[in-house]
Structure 1
Amino acid sequence: MYETIELNKEGRTAHLIMKRPKSMNAMNGKMMKELADCFDSLLQDYTVQVLIIHGEGKAFSAGGDIKEMMDPDQPMDMSLVMEDLKRLSKALYTLPQITIAAIHGASAGLGFSIALACDHVIAEENSKLAMNFIGIGLVPDGGGHFFLKERVGVPKAKQLIWAGQTLKAHDALAKGLIDEVTAEGRALEHAEAYAKEVLASPVRAKLESKNILHQLKVDELEKVLEREAAAQTAMRQSEDHLEGIQAFVEKRKPAFKGI
């Protein structure tokens, strides 16, 4: 059904696996659309009560696919991409399931936005977690501003966005960004154990509380997504973004000018 992701359902638990391992599960246009379609389908699936999201290969997700962004022959249609991102983020936030992100390797940029949107975030101790859009002159998208703010508040969210630094799991836990740290190779195991705990609890009551709390914020999330789309479109035309991308490709430090 999907080319870049896989959805497996086992009783009341589902696993969503990102499957572009050669690209560290970097998200191209197709993956963003398929994730949005998958989350949309789960909005009406009340047979599933827990969703575990993880990545195949060496990483959770390295973020947006910069190579596809730069492809002169088949450039990303950013208007379509941003619409899919809006759909993806809103659906993920409002899913009628307890969502668990099981992170190993990198969870960066858009990949980190998706992890932060989940109800419970587990990361292996040597994971590399980064809201690193600033490094290529962009702003967070996929609801990154909203999900960061929800976890740590506005002042800390700004500092994390502006710094764009890469955090190890214990640092991210101390900052309130994630909920649990595990040993290497054990994130998925811990996610499945947490899922069993949830399913052995009054999960319907937990889901009702999630729905009450999240529905209060849906209008705000939608406004953030609209503003992110407008800002990202503008930033992609900036000289700093072009310099950031070029420096990334050339593996050198960018020389930003603030324009």
Structure 2
Amino acid sequence: MAYETLDFEKNGRLATLTLNRPAAMNSMNEVLMKELADCFEALNDEAEVQVLIIKGAGKVFSAGGDIKAMLDDESPMEIDAVMVDITRFVKAMYMLPMVTIAAVHGASAGLGFSLALGCDIIIAEENSKLAMNFIGIGLIPDGAGHFFMKERLGTPLAKQMIWSGDILTGTAAKKIGLVDEVVPDGKAADQANLLAQKLLQSPIAAMIATKEILHTQKCAELSNVLKMETVAQSKMRKTVDHLEGIQAFVQKRTPAFNGQ
């Protein structure tokens, strides 16, 4: 599989998917989101791969949605089209017939954090920065961020985390159950590979069967969350607060929200 914004490598039963927009901090533009959807859908028909590692090239895992693309006057990001591809990649990723491992270094924010949370196992470096920070630009989580946060934290704490947009280190995220394993800085990819090899030496077919049983029960809820996120995000993208939020982000100042 050849992509413009992704690197995909397959080595027998192990595959590695690397987000490859390092100059843009692996932020997700329309091309990257479509290619994620295409890749995950193709992997649902993959018979050999049993472990998939997902990581980011360069200094971070993913900074989230491409805010500069949102502000592009000549070719602005089309939210409705984008949400179609986000829905595609989340559904396909959730039902992948393999164990997925997110190797998080640097930062994993917004949609990039939703992607990591959608993996079966999350390994984060001690000082990585993790944030469901859509609120900072007047948006709601997408990429099933609501679903994945609730799965890991429960509804009350998920709401608090989404509303606050707090940035957590890998160590802090581990304490509340947002990630599964914490490693020293610079070691996430190495640890993901070690874990992958351990899994491949285990009765992994049984593990994958368990994943299918548990995830299938949640498919209807996931689909409903994605539909509601699509409607709400389209509405939020048209608000005054969202425009103020992204302008403040680009201008590196504190936004002045007014609830509109």
TM-score (ref. length: structure 2): 0.99
CA offsets 1:65-116 (integer angstroms, 9 cap, x no match): 0000110001111111000000000111110010000000010000000000
Provide the C-alpha distance between the structure 1 equivalents of 2:132 and 2:162, rounded to a whole number of angstroms.
Answer: 6
User: Which residue of 1 is the match for residue 139 of structure 2?
Assistant: 138
Provide the C-alpha distance between the structure 1 equivalents of 2:214 and 2:156, rounded to a whole number of angstroms.
Answer: 22
State the 1:37 CA deviation: 0.3
Q: Which amino acid aligns with 1:254?
A: P
Provide the C-alpha distance between the structure 2 equivalents of 1:89 and 1:20, rounded to a whole number of angstroms.
Answer: 20
1:76 is aligned to 2:77: yes
User: Which residue of 2 is the match for residue 208 of structure 1?
Assistant: 209
Provide the C-alpha distance between the structure 2 equivalents of 1:14 and 1:157, rounded to a whole number of angstroms.
Answer: 31
**What is the SS of the residue equivalent to 1:41?**
helix
State the 1:6 CA deviation: 1.0
Provide the C-alpha distance between the structure 1 equivalents of 2:100 and 2:29, rounded to a whole number of angstroms.
Answer: 23
User: Which residue of 2 is the match for residue 50 of structure 1?
Assistant: 51
Q: Which amino acid aligns with 1:128?
A: K
**What is the SS of the residue equivalent to 1:101?**
strand
Query: After superposition, where does 1:25-104 map in structure 2 within 5 Å?
Result: 25-104=26-105
User: Which residue of 1 is the match for residue 182 of structure 2?
Assistant: 181
Provide the C-alpha distance between the structure 1 equivalents of 2:70 and 2:37, rounded to a whole number of angstroms.
Answer: 19
Provide the C-alpha distance between the structure 1 equivalents of 2:204 and 2:249, rounded to a whole number of angstroms.
Answer: 45
Query: After superposition, where does 1:94-173 map in structure 2 within 5 Å?
Result: 94-173=95-174
CA offsets 1:49-74 (integer angstroms, 9 cap, x no match): 00000000000000000000110001
Provide the C-alpha distance between the structure 1 equivalents of 2:34 and 2:209, rounded to a whole number of angstroms.
Answer: 28
Please report the RMSD computed on the Cα atoms of aligned residues, expressed in angstroms.
0.5
Q: Which runs of 4+ in 1 moved over 4 A?
A: none
Q: Which amino acid aligns with 2:38?
A: D
Provide the C-alpha distance between the structure 2 equivalents of 1:75 and 1:118, rounded to a whole number of angstroms.
Answer: 30
CA offsets 1:93-148 (integer angstroms, 9 cap, x no match): 11001000000001000000000010000011110000000000000000100000
Question: Can you give the 5+ residue segments of structure 1 that lack an aligned partner in the other structure?
Answer: none
Q: Which amino acid aligns with 2:134?
A: F
Provide the C-alpha distance between the structure 2 equivalents of 1:254 and 1:68, rounded to a whole number of angstroms.
Answer: 19
Provide the C-alpha distance between the structure 2 equivalents of 1:79 and 1:257, rounded to a whole number of angstroms.
Answer: 25
State the 1:245 CA deviation: 1.0
Q: Which amino acid aligns with 1:244?
A: G
Provide the C-alpha distance between the structure 2 equivalents of 1:141 and 1:97, rounded to a whole number of angstroms.
Answer: 23
**What is the SS of the residue equivalent to 1:121?**
strand
Provide the C-alpha distance between the structure 1 equivalents of 2:141 and 2:214, rounded to a whole number of angstroms.
Answer: 23
Q: Which amino acid aligns with 1:41?
A: A
Question: Can you give the 5+ residue segments of structure 2 that lack an aligned partner in the other structure?
Answer: none
**What is the SS of the residue equivalent to 1:107?**
strand
Provide the C-alpha distance between the structure 2 equivalents of 1:32 and 1:108, rounded to a whole number of angstroms.
Answer: 15
**What is the SS of the residue equivalent to 2:101?**
strand
State the 1:250 CA deviation: 1.4
Provide the C-alpha distance between the structure 1 equivalents of 2:249 and 2:85, rounded to a whole number of angstroms.
Answer: 25
State the 1:249 CA deviation: 1.5
Provide the C-alpha distance between the structure 2 equivalents of 1:175 and 1:228, rounded to a whole number of angstroms.
Answer: 25
User: Which residue of 1 is the match for residue 22 of structure 2?
Assistant: 21
State the 1:246 CA deviation: 1.3
Q: Which amino acid aligns with 2:13?
A: R
Provide the C-alpha distance between the structure 2 equivalents of 1:46 and 1:174, rounded to a whole number of angstroms.
Answer: 36
Provide the C-alpha distance between the structure 2 equivalents of 1:138 and 1:32, rounded to a whole number of angstroms.
Answer: 18
Q: Which amino acid aligns with 2:139?
A: L
